[in-house]
């Protein structure tokens, strides 16, 4: 049975196998009680310390909210966290709920960068709307704010619930429903049951000043209302004149902060979107980005990923092609039957108005003529990066085939494609490996979205930063078909031309409160070139904290070289789609970091070496220092340093510029400091420390 299992797994894998050496280990997770792990009493508990990078100013892991609803998105990482354009503030939102479906709505919280703090966490069922909603998307306007959500009703009450207020973060919300023109929906394709609908679903939104840009799709047709049309296609209909079109993306624009809409129900059919794309863009497999009057609307439809672009604030649009996986034809027979299809995707416009795109992938296989084809969700594929200085990606650049032995393999050129980014490994390998004896990856919760899920991208000064969710190497997971997932950030130093996944990647959710292991007895993997296999003892790791961190999203913009990340956290992996309302509240965390700290924050090469979570023999001694008053207003700031050696004190601003430098000082004159956040570095010949100084 074991041989048969391994053979079947290998038939779905294109990674090298790994041989596991079994040993005893003082830790077990055979029992799962209420989603929590059961540990042996003699399990070694590591001596934890913050890493040198985690102790730096600018880092914060904050718990900002909670909910009982476990599905933040269907497909893409949504625009739910963003900075205000002309202030040091940010907003984050999520779909909140208690264990009753009727209570669902938008939870919200606010961040102040001057003191690096969030407001108190609201209750799990606190919502801003007076009616049941979902998929709330927040944004700042010139002085106020706006939240757009849907209420999923197909009758006269259906549409987008628009909530606005003139002063952000305070006052009462003004609420109304934005509907599209009534159209006819059929509950079966023969048209026997029809009703008028005005529903709009799954909004995505960006704001710039008082201008608000929104795209949502019309009401989704029931499954029996989608008759087959050719090879594995369905007719959704798409309406322009007759208004009979589930589902189609529609664009809306407001120039007064969401109070009125000067562009309504604009569809992209005349701008290059094909009938196929219009029919299949649904379930929030799309997202928007903005910079000034430059707006982009990225979407995917099974095989393709493209975007619509406007350079005149949403008046006119042009279609831009990114990737087409080559739609399978019924009569097709190819020696390259395996293709990467786009899944969760993200887009960003940098300061030079270059458009950056990244998308997760999954394998789609068609071996011969006819309509028979299928996804291979257990094939651990990575993601693909692209920007608008490049030609559209051709599907043969990332295509695969079967070997004579019947194994599913990719051509070697696939790994050499410059925009391909592999999964990260945190156990010392040179690549994420698929183990014949390890757990399979279940896609139940993430709906066949792939291995790397919910990527987000930002770019600044020639660096490109991609955050995403990825499964953790076994045995950091808990058992068959149950991966734990981590939140990662990967950085390219040359504007996305090259990606060194094992060199410039950080495991952001590796934290004593979220996930941690004892690496004291960890045995580094060894490669056997004769058998072309790795030998490794997974029992040399003792996992002390093991939780799920998933559904990440990153701020839609950058503020003073700072980004924010937001994700969902719970004890056990997200698995069950049969009941999206959980008994225990799911926690919403944010990660706060300055871009200047990347890619130095590349900890995946340090974690498995034990340099990230515990004191090692080679660790330099630390310096105890105190800076007060902090925050400070003006005049002098006191410095107390406990070090039996001369030291150098350097103060830098958040841009990394040195504003003060001295030897062995006990005070700092901040009279000429601009209000803001500063980093005070104290260094001797054997030790160093850093602290944050806030000047108001």
pLDDT on residue 26: 28
CB atoms within 10 A of CB 35: 15
d(CA 330, CA 620): 65
Range of the domain at 588: 1-66+289-619
Is residue 260 located within the same domain as residue 393?
A: no
Is residue 237 located within the same domain as residue 268?
A: yes
3-state per-residue secondary structure call for 39-51: CCCCCCCCCCCCC
> 666 lies in a domain?
yes
pLDDT on residue 333: 60
pLDDT on residue 369: 66
Is residue 300 located within the same domain as residue 440?
A: yes
Is residue 589 located within the same domain as residue 473?
A: yes
Of 283, 308, 338, which one is at a domain's C-terminal end?
283
pLDDT on residue 626: 83
Question: β-pairing, 658-663 with 648-653?
Answer: antiparallel
Domains contained in the chain, number: 3
For the residues of 92-143, what is the DSSP string, one character each? EEEEE--SSGGG-EEEEEEEETTTTEEPPPPPTT--SSSS--EEEEEEE-SS
Is residue 158 located within the same domain as residue 110?
A: yes
Is residue 400 located within the same domain as residue 532?
A: yes
Is residue 221 located within the same domain as residue 113?
A: yes
Residues 6+ apart with CB under 8 A from 621: 686, 687
Is residue 348 located within the same domain as residue 442?
A: yes
Question: β-pairing, 18-20 with 533-536?
Answer: parallel
pLDDT on residue 299: 97
> 73 lies in a domain?
no
Reading the block at residue 608, the tokens are 């498995």
> 71 lies in a domain?
no
Q: Do the beta carbons of residue 45 and residue 101 sit within 8 Å?
A: no
Reading the block at residue 633, the tokens are 């207003």
Is residue 535 located within the same domain as residue 669?
A: no
Question: β-pairing, 393-394 with 304-310?
Answer: unpaired
pLDDT on residue 92: 98
pLDDT on residue 193: 55
CA distances for 511 relative to 484, 569, 606, 614, 696, angstroms: 14, 12, 14, 12, 30
> 300 lies in a domain?
yes
Q: Do the beta carbons of residue 254 and residue 270 sit within 8 Å?
A: no
3-state per-residue secondary structure call for 140-179: ECCCCEEEEEECCCCCCCCCEEEEEECCCCCCCCEEEEEC
CB atoms within 10 A of CB 389: 11
> 136 lies in a domain?
yes
Question: pLDDT averaged over consecutive 10-residue blocks of the chain (696 residues)?
Answer: 32 44 33 26 34 46 91 93 93 90 89 89 91 95 96 80 96 94 65 69 96 91 49 50 68 97 92 86 93 97 92 98 79 67 94 97 73 67 93 84 50 68 88 59 70 94 94 77 85 92 89 84 84 80 88 94 92 78 88 72 79 46 77 88 85 82 93 87 80 84
pLDDT on residue 639: 92
Reading the block at residue 253, the tokens are 């624009």
Helix (H, G, I), strand (E, B), or coil: what is residue 480?
A: coil
First-to-last C-alpha distance (Å) of the chain: 68
Question: β-pairing, 174-178 with 160-165?
Answer: antiparallel
Of 266, 283, 300, which one is at a domain's C-terminal end?
283
- Number of helical (H) and strand (E) elements in the chain, helices listed first: 4, 48
Is residue 149 located within the same domain as residue 276?
A: yes
Query: What's the residue count for the chain?
Result: 696
Of 283, 299, 315, which one is at a domain's C-terminal end?
283
CA distances for 1 relative to 5, 7, 478, angstroms: 6, 10, 22
CB atoms within 10 A of CB 224: 12
Is residue 603 located within the same domain as residue 678?
A: no
Is residue 276 located within the same domain as residue 414?
A: no
> 121 lies in a domain?
yes
Q: What is the CATH number of the domain that holds 675?
A: 2.60.40.3080
d(CA 80, CA 366): 37
> 267 lies in a domain?
yes
If residue 9 lies in a helix (H) or strand (E), which one and from where to where? helix 2-10
For the residues of 531-558, what is the DSSP string, one character each? TTEEEE-GGG-EEEEE-EEEEEEE-SS-
Q: Do the beta carbons of residue 21 and residue 535 sit within 8 Å?
A: yes
> 468 lies in a domain?
yes
Reading the block at residue 179, the tokens are 């509907």
């Amino acid at each position: 049975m074991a041989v048969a299992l391994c053979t079947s797994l290998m038939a779905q894998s294109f990674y090298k196998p790994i041989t596991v050496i079994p040993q005893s280990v003082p830790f077990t997770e055979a029992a799962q009680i209420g989603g929590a792990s059961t540990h042996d009493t003699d399990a070694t508990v590591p001596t934890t310390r913050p890493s040198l990078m985690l102790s730096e100013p600018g880092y914060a892991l904050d718990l900002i909210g909670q909910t009982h609803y476990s599905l933040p998105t269907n497909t893409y990482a949504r625009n739910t966290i963003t900075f205000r354009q002309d202030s040091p503030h940010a907003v984050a939102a999520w779909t909140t709920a208690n264990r009753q479906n009727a209570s669902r709505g938008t939870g919200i919280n606010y961040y102040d960068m001057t003191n690096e703090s969030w407001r108190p966490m609201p209750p799990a069922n606190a919502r801003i709307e007076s009616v049941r909603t979902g998929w709330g998307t927040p944004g700042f306007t010139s002085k106020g704010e706006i939240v757009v959500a849907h209420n999923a009703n197909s009758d006269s009450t259906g549409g987008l619930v628009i909530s606005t207020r003139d002063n952000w973060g305070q006052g009462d919300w003004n609420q109304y429903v934005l509907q599209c023109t009534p159209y006819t929906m059929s509950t079966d394709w023969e048209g026997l049951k029809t009703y008028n609908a005005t529903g709009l679903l799954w909004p995505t939104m960006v704001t710039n000043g008082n201008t608000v840009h929104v795209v949502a799709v019309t009401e989704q047709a029931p499954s029996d209302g989608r008759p087959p049309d050719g090879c594995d296609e369905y007719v959704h209909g798409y309406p322009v004149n007759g208004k009979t079109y589930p589902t189609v993306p529609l664009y809306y624009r407001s120039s007064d902060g969401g109070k009125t809409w000067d562009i309504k129900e604009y569809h992209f059919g005349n701008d290059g979107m094909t009938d196929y794309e219009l029919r299949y863009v649904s379930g929030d497999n799309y997202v928007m980005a903005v910079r000034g009057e430059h707006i982009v609307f990225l979407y995917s439809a099974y095989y393709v990923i493209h975007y619509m672009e406007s350079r005149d604030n949403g008046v006119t649009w042009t279609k831009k092609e990114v990737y087409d996986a080559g739609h399978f034809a019924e009569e097709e027979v190819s020696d390259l039957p395996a293709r990467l299809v786009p899944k969760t995707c993200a887009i960003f416009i940098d300061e030079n108005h270059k458009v950056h795109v990244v998308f997760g992938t999954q394998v789609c296989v068609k071996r011969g003529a006819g309509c028979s084809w299928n996804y291979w969700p257990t094939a651990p594929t990575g993601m693909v990066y692209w920007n608008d200085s490049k030609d559209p990606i051709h599907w043969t650049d990332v295509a695969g085939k079967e070997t004579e032995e019947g194994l599913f393999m990719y051509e070697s050129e696939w790994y050499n494609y410059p925009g391909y980014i592999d999964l990260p490994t945190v156990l010392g390998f040179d690549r994420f490996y698929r183990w014949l004896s390890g757990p399979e990856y279940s896609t139940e919760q993430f709906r066949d979205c792939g291995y790397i899920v919910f990527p987000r991208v930002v770019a600044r000064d020639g660096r490109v930063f991609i955050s995403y969710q990825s499964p953790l190497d076994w045995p950091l997971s808990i058992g068959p078909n149950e991966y734990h997932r981590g939140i990662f950030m990967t950085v390219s130093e040359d504007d996305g031309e090259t990606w060194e996944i094992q060199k410039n990647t950080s495991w952001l959710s590796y934290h004593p409160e979220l996930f941690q292991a004892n690496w004291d007895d960890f045995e580094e993997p060894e490669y056997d070139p004769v058998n072309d296999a790795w030998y490794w003892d997974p029992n040399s790791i003792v996992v002390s904290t093991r939780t799920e961190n998933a559904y990440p999203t990153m701020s839609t913009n950058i503020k003073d070289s700072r980004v924010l990340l937001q994700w969902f956290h719970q004890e056990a992996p997200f698995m069950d789609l049969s009941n999206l309302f959980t008994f225990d509240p799911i926690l919403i965390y944010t990660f706060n970091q300055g871009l200047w700290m990347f890619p130095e924050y590349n900890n995946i090469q340090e974690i498995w070496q034990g340099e990230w979570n515990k004191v090692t023999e080679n660790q330099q001694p630390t310096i105890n220092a105190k800076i007060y008053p902090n925050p400070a207003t003006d005049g002098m700031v006191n410095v107390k340093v406990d070090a039996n050696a001369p030291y150098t004190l350097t103060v830098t601003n958040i841009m990394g510029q040195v504003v003060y430098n001295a030897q062995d000082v006990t005070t700092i004159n901040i009279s000429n400091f601009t209000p803001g956040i500063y980093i005070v570095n104290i260094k001797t010949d054997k030790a160093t420390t850093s602290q944050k100084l806030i000047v108001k």
